[in-house]
Structure 1
């Protein structure tokens, strides 16, 4: 009789329990993260009417979050590496939830703008923290699957936010909608701090520590220093990740910000049809995230190097998302357009999962969150630009097709840059400033 494979000695019940708790908290907080982002878009007409805001004012409010989120990435990654995921996840979640609740109390544009900026700052630690948790609590062969699970919270939150928030808004009003979701976030922040632990706060055995670090090619260093953080920018791997993620998030935010309007204006669909059909691509995004993370682990277990098991799925899926976006622009068929957009979202979230999985294998543990935040900074520069650039192109041309083609071209170019620029991990010995200024990998 064939014997079932036994788990590695260091993968104890305590490790498994901690992994499950960590993933549950990351998915829950990630879903809340994306629900909170959507509150302004869902309540847009009612807020404009009550506060007397113009469409231009609403555009500024929508962009306030994105710019604050993007530029907060750089310092927040270093803070996560310095103080640990437990504190930074709880503080970030608590801060953005209070900012969300404050949105239900505002009375003018200035107050709302400040609340949205604070929301962006508070949400900034979420994904760098998740990348560090993957590195801290999962073996290198399992980090891709873990990343795919917590990364799917972004598209899952986007998929459920519109019906959930619309329900709340219709029954309790937009102000209470903001207050209720803010209160839920504060409760989850308290829960996260109470039940999650950093590895340094747990008396791990030698076998458990060996299991968690097995297969790492980067080595270990002490607590992150400012000099080490700055030196990350001297490595080509950092720039390849930053440029590649710019293309990913630019493409996804074309759809996140403009898909309903595209279906109504370009495809002449009714509001009722849009409400149903616009949710389909996000469902494909959930599947793409889960499969993308799993794919990296399958490749790694079959002997593909940790870097290549992430790099090639990311580059190929991003290029595929660009191609599908171009096909959506060119096809005259509404059904095919939905199919191509769904394929683009599926591949786009394969790309996000594999890109975040890259973070956990290319740098020493003490700068995992910092590198992830740098990648996310590049991504959300694209995310902040995509809604504006798309709007300007549509206004000038009278069609979404040129805007989609611009996004498609950027995706393909960034995919090529990702594949060409990234080569090797960043070892601890090269990160140490004492190593000098030898050519960076």
Structure 2
């Protein structure tokens, strides 16, 4: 049988990669930008965090819009907006204009995860969901890996403004390909009938104890009555805190405390990000084997999420080494852990959600949970550095949150969301 649905995985990988290239572009150029605009570590912390404000604000509305108007249209609008904003960042003349560009970029990028979750539910059989979700999420680590080298070189050679123009232009290339080739599996002309039938038959997993209401849409308010959705969102938050610590402050940490140049910082940072891409996809594949059969609907994947978070907690060892090679290994293990956590957590959401009609809005809520923590991370880190004169406590807080998240995922996601929804409806009817 053909595997043309693999092109969908490639589309999603590239979407996520471009998304995170544009996010980290500011971090790569942080030093010259801070010098030009006379910004302190606290000021840079707010600038780093700013795109997350609008990103988080627009996530839930975007989830509803994706469920309402479809993935093709909404993904196209989103990447157009954020790519244009990224390119225009290079024209900023003040802190205010930099801030405005980042706010617009964040609003556009809010489409990415709802679209990714919805497309995976539409196109991917349930037993392949872990590895494809991992491919989608690994793009968020491939982006910083590529960006660290490419944009680091551009900043060093041509200045920081050119790097934003190039980063923005890449998004428009993806948009053109998306508009030409993408459609739902029911309508895609380039898909064989045999593969189409397989996708349509196998894309929805059954809850462990299904009943006649399992296919009905429940809506966000119904989903919010379950501890499972809240557990997924809190877990995402504990994980994303560390992700944004790396995205925003890692280049500055390497340049300030390890005294690396901008170009050397890019090369150093690229290694753990590249390693996490490979290990994240491997973790997704292993999780598919682990949950094969009844383990999908039962939420067995939660155990893999917890293990990934505990792996990420390796970040607690950062303050105890001064050796660059060991530091590189620690960062690689940590990033692999948090990359795997995000992809497995997203796959677990699809495993435990009975209705495909709710995927985008449920995904949006989980990502909102993550970005509440993500919003705090750059700002809190800026204050920690300012107060203590060190990054040690910043890494310590991140590690402890990862351990807390592992506890949450094991205790709050014990059942498919449909069970509690049906009980709640019975209570209301009575």
TM-score tier after normalising by the smaller chain length: 0.7 to 0.9
The Cα of 1:369 is off from its aligned counterpart by 1.5
2:395 matched to which residue of 1? 404
Are the counterparts in 1 of residues 83 and 168 from structure 2 also a CA contact under 8 Å?
yes
Q: How far does residue 98 in structure 1 lie from its aligned partner after superposition?
A: 1.6
Q: Distance in 2 between matches of 1:191 and 1:272?
A: 31
Which of 370, 378, 383 is the matching residue for 1:379?
370
> Which residue does the alignment assign to 2:164?
178
Q: Work out the CA distance in 1 between the residues paired with 2:122 and 2:17.
A: 22
Tell me: CA distance 1:199–1:229, structure 2 relative to 1, closer, same or farther (3 Å). farther
* Aligned length, in residue pairs: 419
Aligned equivalent of 2:282: 291
| 1:248 corresponds to | 239
Counterparts of 1:431 and 1:167, CA distance in 2: 56
Partner of 1:3: none
1:83-122 superposed matches below 5 A: 83-122=69-108
User: What pairs with 1:63-212 in structure 2 (closer than 5 Å)?
Assistant: 63-170=49-156, 173-199=159-185, 201-202=187-188, 207-208=197-198, 210-212=200-202
Q: Deviations over 1:167-226 (max 9, x none)?
A: 33455544343333323312322321221112454597894465233533373336x8xx
CA distance in 2, matches of 1:272, 1:433: 56
- Could you tell me whether the CA contact under 8 Å between 1:220 and 1:366 is conserved in 2? no
Q: Is the 8 A contact 1:139 1:212 kept in 2?
A: yes
Residue by residue over 1:350-396, the C-alpha shift from the partner in whole angstroms, topping out at 9 and shown as x without a partner, is: 21121111122221101111111111111112222112222222322
Give the secondary structure class of the aligned counterpart of 1:279. helix
Contact 2:295–2:301 (8 Å) recurs in 1: no
Separation of aligned partners in 2, 1:429 and 1:236 = 9
Contact 1:321 1:348 in 2 (8 A): yes
**Partner SS state of residue 142, structure 1:** helix
Q: Secondary structure in 2 aligned to 1:304?
A: coil
Q: How does 1:241-390 map to 2 (within 5 A)?
A: 241-267=232-258, 274-301=265-292, 304-322=295-313, 324-331=314-321, 333-363=323-353, 364-390=355-381
1:54 equivalent to 2:45? Answer no
In 2, distance between residues paired with 1:293 and 1:131?
15
Distance, in Å, in 2 between the alignment partners of 1:435 and 1:244 is 29
Distance 1:437 1:402, change over 3 A: farther
TM-score, length basis structure 2: 0.88
Note closer, same or farther for the CA distance 1:107–1:243 as it changes in structure 2 (3 Å cut): same
Q: CA RMSD in A?
A: 2.9
Within 5 Å, give how 1:223-234 maps onto structure 2.
228-234=219-225
Query: In 2 relative to 1, CA 150–431 (structure 1 residues): closer, same or farther, beyond 3 Å?
Result: farther
Which residue in 2 is equivalent to 1:33?
A: 19
Mapped contact 1:132–1:368 kept (Cα < 8 A):
yes
Contact 1:292 1:351 in 2 (8 A): no
User: 1:22 and 2:8 equivalent?
Assistant: yes
Verify the 8 A CA contact 1:81 1:366 in the aligned structure 2.
yes
Q: Could you tell me how far apart the structure 1 residues matched to 2:18 and 2:6 are?
A: 18
Counterparts of 2:375 and 2:248, CA distance in 1:
10
Change in CA separation of 1:154 and 1:432 when aligned onto 2, cut-off 3 Å = farther
Between 146-155 and 327-336, report the one with greater CA deviation. 327-336
Matched-pair contact (CA < 8 Å) for 2:89–2:101 = yes
Distance in 1 (alpha carbons) for counterparts of 2:296 and 2:97: 50
Is the Cα–Cα contact under 8 Å of residues 223 and 229 in structure 2 kept in the other structure? Answer: yes
Rate the CA distance shift 1:139–1:414 in 2: closer, same or farther, 3 A. Answer: same
CA contact (8 A) 1:136 1:212 kept: no
Can you give the 5+ residue segments of structure 1 that lack an aligned partner in the other structure? 1-6, 8-12
SS state at 1:141 partner: helix
Task: Provide closer, same or farther for how the CA distance between residues 92 and 267 of structure 1 changes in structure 2, counting only shifts above 3 A.
Answer: same
Contact kept, 8 Å, 1:328 with 1:338, in 2: the verdict is no
How far 1:135 moved relative to its partner? 0.8
Give the structure 2 partner of residue 10 of structure 1.
none
- Using the alignment, how far apart are the partners of 1:210 and 1:147 within structure 2? 18
Q: Is the 8 A contact 1:242 1:377 kept in 2?
A: yes
